Amino acid sequence: MKNIAVIGAGTMGNGIAHTFAQSGFTVKLIDISEASLEKGMTTISKNLDRMVAKEKISETDKAQTLSNITTFTNIYEGVTSVDLVVEAATENVDLKLDIFKKLDEICSKETILATNTSSISITQIAAITSRPDKVIGMHFMNPVPIMKLVEIIRGYNTSDKVTKSIMDMSKTLGKIPVEVNDYPGFVANRILMPMINESIETLYNNVAGVNEIDTVMKLGMAHPMGPLQLADFIGLDVCLSILHVMYDGFKNPKYAPCPLLVNMVRAGKLGVKSGEGFYDYTKSRKAEHVAKQFMK
């Protein structure tokens, strides 16, 4: 497999496209928005510049990587003659089902369809297609060009052949693939999201402030980033969506999202992407004040 299509030019999509292109794959990056494609390509170029500055790659490597990527706003044009499609659209089940229904109609019957979902059932997505044996999860970690892990999620009908081919391909990207089964949240988010949610509950219950909670986890548990700061980087809306998927899937109250998280998302305080979450990324105001306004 050498010809790859990536759907979605956002944070995960452009990172996935970058990673494949840098490994010598021909990549078609697809998004409905031309502005999103331009922003995605600018991000890829800047990230490559950082690698050049650190002498991890050469200017020639950068140029070759960029030349391996072609952008499309038309999904029909973008997914023709590809061996693998990696969907990296917003974490919304209805949107993903609609995309996979279209992909199944457009793509060759031999094309493998992968999703970068961080929580949604691969089996459910595969069921909308006529090729459930060729549908699989490839959950990359952010930032994609740097993080080594890829969760490879088998749906109920994903074939051994497809699983092996995606595991092998992930290794050619310089990643470490880990095979997991298809249950809400998989492994990474089944463990991570309850921790983030409990951190938000700890803040909500006035046990400690934002800085204090993050400092305890960084210094006491050797986490490189505190859970509240990490939630800001993931996106509070994404965290909320994943918790909803897990709560709906398990019907266990331990996955119910904290009211503070719900209120912050309703107010549009989504973290880094909106400029404000548990931390303020636009002003010098203290982080505690950002969250506390939603706790009154």
Marked catalytic residue, from 118, 121, 170, 197: 118
The alpha carbon of 7 is separated from its chain's Cα centroid by a whole number of angstroms, namely: 12
Beta bridge partners of 4: 27, 84
* 198 annotated active-site: no
139 is catalytic: yes
Q: Is 151 a catalytic residue?
A: yes
Could you give the strand order of the β-sheet that contains 3-7, starting from the edge strand earlier in sequence?
69-72, 26-30, 3-7, 84-87, 112-115, 135-140, 149-154, 176-181
Catalytic, out of 36, 47, 189, 197 = 189
For 168, other C-beta atoms within 10 Å of its C-beta total: 11
Name the packing angle between helices 11-22 and 34-53 (round to 10°).
50
Q: Which of 151, 199, 244, 276 is catalytic?
A: 151
* CA dist., res. 134 & res. 158, Å (int): 6
- Tokens at 137, concatenated: 């999860």
The alpha carbon torsion through 36, 38, 39, 41 (nearest 10 deg) reads 120
Tokens of 107: 């793509």
Active site residue 179: no
Give me the DSSP letters along 36-67.
HHHHHHHHHHHHHHHHHHTTSS-HHHHHHHHH
Catalytic, out of 14, 36, 139, 199: 139
Q: Which residues contact 147 (CB under 8 A, 6 or more apart)?
A: 140, 141
Let me know the angle formed at the C-alpha of 141 by 136 and 143, rounded to the nearest 5 degrees.
Answer: 135
Beta bridge partners of 276: 271, 280
- Cα–Cα distance between 146 and 135 in angstroms, integer? 25
What positions carry a catalytic annotation?
118, 139, 151, 189
